[in-house]
A and B are shown apart, each in its own frame.
Chain A
């Protein structure tokens, strides 16, 4: 460290002079070393959202379906029958950049704890991953390590990883994104919260013992990556999914007893965050004796115990007098459950080591009193130029068939089978729609219902225009759910951006949230929680702005679930929505012309809503046999995916005057490819007319080839050849 920080220990811990002054005011004195450490982690961006809170409050968060909005360990939406779905997404980007296997594994472990803490049994995992180009050895190392880490944790604990997305782009070369989402099922009566209340109630640490791992992980997550980041490898925690499986079963068993007042995961900032957040939410205080915390190592200081991010631990406040019952449950699972303190009424988080007081801080001082920054926002200087790039005069591809095959082999578009075959996506025997579809669907045993799950974001659109890109991220997630027949219920978001202290980054963030908020309002999908990850930069270069949208939808009748594959020869293939000349931001434009420019596709939220409502009504009335969202790679890729899903070919004629590249590969929004019998065509038209949704006939399901003809182009390829490219692309790159 530089010499000038020697006299200012807070600077080394990531606090500013101004923040240090505030701490002194809150305490009425100088903080000691333990207290300073506690402030530094709680006031990190990762824990405090100090840079993002004023913007995030623009998200719509309310609706009749919301049982628990933002502020708790996870959001919860109602699915009827006295049941709710708890769900949340969280990033583990920086740990995964340094140690991909453990970084990703503990990301999964953390998000699972957030969900079962709510009293929900986890039923599904999803993930959203971003890496640099697979032509780079480091990206391949990170990619395979992250996938193995997710698999290692999720498979062992026995929660199916049912869906997700992976994009490859050079902007993520130094700073990959690893966002993990967990979805759980709970009975309303079991909804638990992270609140410490009831003076005299005991405070218990349960689960794994505390070690020296992960100290200052939250602070590490709140700074840019650089050459020195390697040195922070000790700030990456190590996961033990077997321990978490035991912890999960024990906690769920405990919640069923009704003895729990409050419970919280010890994730980022460990014992410090769980204790002060629980006390703060309960308007109470907590007193803890660190000497009582079960430890893995000798000689740990109070500082280390309070800041350790050892995994698989929870803080539990049970009713007074029920301590022995709690211990008995944990003992059955071979776990520690130890009373380390009690709930008080003075609002103070008081840490003792035996008789000695080592820290004494108002709980709200660590949480609510953290300063909030209204950062300056400024549109990047060069963006207008990028947006105004002329795309109308670009030469057309010489060979559309070749371009189509090249596009379907792009790692971002190609099959992700190499990834999801490493995940157990079936354990729990609820997976009705498996990975590789628009959205995953899991059934809810004991009911006729199912929930559809997806996680989405096209960050190139967000880069080109964060406002439109934000709207598209939400709209596409909802459209994916709708294609399975699910009504979208709510959103969890994971905001992955660069350094918010830079006005250009903050502008991206504000604009993206503005777009997302509008879409959430229009599509009636309130935000129930999420996570902000800033400082995703290496050597001063930020990743593409990536506000990942996780979404949950409800299927009332699982027997009516709709899938993307064509079903029977002779069925008509129909496009809902309109084709437009929009190449801006497309994968084709990046691949063929080497351009990441122009405006992203336009989106009209009212039309999007009409399209989605229309599709839902068609599925509900059993009028269509398949539905698939048109996204990266455009209409030609969407058609190929419908064919490959069932092994049935298609004869398609596109009668349209658009230039072929836009028609085949453009990524115009609000389009869904469906198939229908000729008998149902009339009824289908009645419904599309009712919603004023444009529809056009594309062709019929037939044979074992995909044939697409139009003015000036012709694609005619056996499905086997397409599939070989589609499924072979990633394995081929990974063999290098």
Chain B
């Protein structure tokens, strides 16, 4: 089993994702530089990390989407490979058309770094089998442009297909307006594509995968992936 962390110029959570895969869940992982035209190894899961690819110039994720490696990322995703986009990675995935909708500026127009509570809405994805539906998890956010938006039709489809994976909630799991700190449509914090093999989320699971950093709720995204790849999870092969 092998992971890859895609590195764009301006990625800054690449080393954090690498650390969690290698040191916390103890799996093989490579960095893949954005200018590569092809993968040098067989990968089972690609991670698009957080950061400010191309300095967020023009629009978040909009330039990274044209990096040479993205052709391979799209190919990999279309073939059913697991792709996890975190924060800026989520933004890139929407720009690349692998996920619907877009991320726009937070409603207060400020960068926000803090712990948030998420309600797990779908535990049947390759990324969430180690959670249970309705579970409340604490995962930090750090973004200025993390308000998820989409048109009504898309929202309807997301709901029908059970593509909404995480919603911002209170610590008790109530999905309220006050817990929707960034103004996302329907409190959306993370979604999967129709096939369920591409997850984009604004919160940073890699930042809370070790108890020394406060909690390890985030680790279970990674352990879920491992379980799915090993064939032991619901919906798994």
Contacts and interface: CB of A to CB of B under 8 A. Distances in A.
The residue in A148, A151, A245 that gathers the most chain B C-beta atoms within 10 A of its C-beta is A245
Contacts of A422: 110-113
Contact of A424 (B9, B111, B206, B212): B111
Contact of B56 (A156, A243, A334, A427): A156
A491 to B, nearest CB: 27
A565 interface: no
Tier of interface size on chain A = 20 to 34
Contact of B10 (A148, A242, A420, A421): A242
Given A155-B142, A422-B112, A443-B212, A427 B13 contact: yes
A445 B209 CA distance: 14
B51 to A, nearest CB: 6
B12 interface: yes
A230 interface: no
B9 A426 contact: no
B53 to A, nearest CB: 9
Given A157-B12, A421-B112, A426 B54 contact: no
B142 A424 contact: yes
B207 A240 contact: no
B113 A158 contact: no
Interface stretch (A87-95, A398-406, A428-436, A503-511): A428-436
Which secondary structure characterizes the binding site on chain A? mixed
Given A156-B10, A246-B9, A431 B213 contact: yes
Given A240-B55, A242-B57, A246-B9, A427 B142 contact: yes
Nearest to A242: B55
A109 to B, nearest CB: 13
A461 to B, nearest CB: 32
Contacts of A333: 9
Contacts of A156: 10, 12, 52, 55-56
A333 B8 CA distance: 10
A427 B212 contact: no
A262 to B, nearest CB: 27
Tier of interface size on chain B = 20 to 34
B16 interface: yes
A567 B213 CA distance: 17
B200 interface: no
A423 interface: yes
A148 B112 CA distance: 11
B204 A426 contact: yes
Interface in B39-86: 50-52, 54-57
A559 interface: yes
Given A158-B51, A240-B55, A558-B212, A426 B113 contact: yes
A429 B24 CA distance: 12
B109 to A, nearest CB: 10
B112 A426 contact: no
A163 to B, nearest CB: 13
A424 B113 contact: yes
Contacts of B110: 148, 421-422
Contacts, number: 83
Nearest to B57: A242
A585 interface: no
A155 B51 CA distance: 8
A184 to B, nearest CB: 15
Interface string A253-289: 0000000000000000000000000000000000000
Interface string A437-475: 000000101000000000000000000000000000000
Contacts of B113: 155, 420-426
A347 interface: no
Contacts of B26: none
Nearest to B53: A242
Interface string A227-252: 00000000000001111011000000
Contacts of A240: 55
B140 interface: yes
B16 A155 contact: no
Given A155-B142, A158-B51, A422-B111, A427 B206 contact: no
Contact of A158 (B13, B57, B213): B13
Contacts of B213: 426, 429, 431-432
The residue in B111, B113, B213 that gathers the most chain A C-beta atoms within 10 A of its C-beta is B113
A633 to B, nearest CB: 25
B202 to A, nearest CB: 13
Contacts of B15: 428
Contacts of A334: 9
B111 A155 contact: yes
A421 B12 contact: no
Interface string B127-141: 000000000000010
Given A156-B52, A242-B57, A426-B113, A559 B16 contact: no
A241 B55 CA distance: 7
A658 to B, nearest CB: 39
B237 interface: no
Contacts of A558: 212
Contacts of B206: 429
A126 to B, nearest CB: 15
A255 to B, nearest CB: 17
Contact of A429 (B10, B112, B207): B207
A422 B106 CA distance: 12
The residue in A240, A333, A421, A425 that gathers the most chain B C-beta atoms within 10 A of its C-beta is A421
The residue in A155, A246, A432 that gathers the most chain B C-beta atoms within 10 A of its C-beta is A155
The residue in A148, A242, A243, A431 that gathers the most chain B C-beta atoms within 10 A of its C-beta is A242
Contacts of A246: 9-10
B140 A426 contact: yes
A156 B15 CA distance: 15
Contacts of B210: 429
Interface in A117-162: 148, 151-152, 155-158
B19 interface: yes
Contacts of A243: 55
Contacts of A242: 9-10, 52, 54-57
Interface in B86-116: 110-114
A432 B54 CA distance: 29
B107 to A, nearest CB: 14
B43 to A, nearest CB: 22
10 closest pairs, A vs B, by CB?
A: A158-B12, A242-B55, A156-B52, A424-B142, A429-B16, A424-B113, A426-B207, A422-B111, A151-B111, A242-B10
Interface of B: 9-10, 12-13, 15-16, 19-20, 23, 50-52, 54-57, 110-114, 140, 142, 144, 204, 206-207, 209-210, 212-213
Interface of A: 148, 151-152, 155-158, 240-243, 245-246, 333-334, 420-429, 431-432, 443, 445, 558-559
19 contacts: A155-B111, A155-B142, A241-B55, A242-B56, A243-B55, A420-B113, A421-B110, A422-B110, A422-B111, A422-B112, A423-B111, A423-B113, A424-B113, A426-B213, A427-B50, A432-B212, A432-B213, A443-B212, A559-B212
Given A245-B9, A245-B52, A429-B210, 6 more contacts: A152-B111, A421-B114, A426-B142, A427-B142, A428-B15, A432-B213
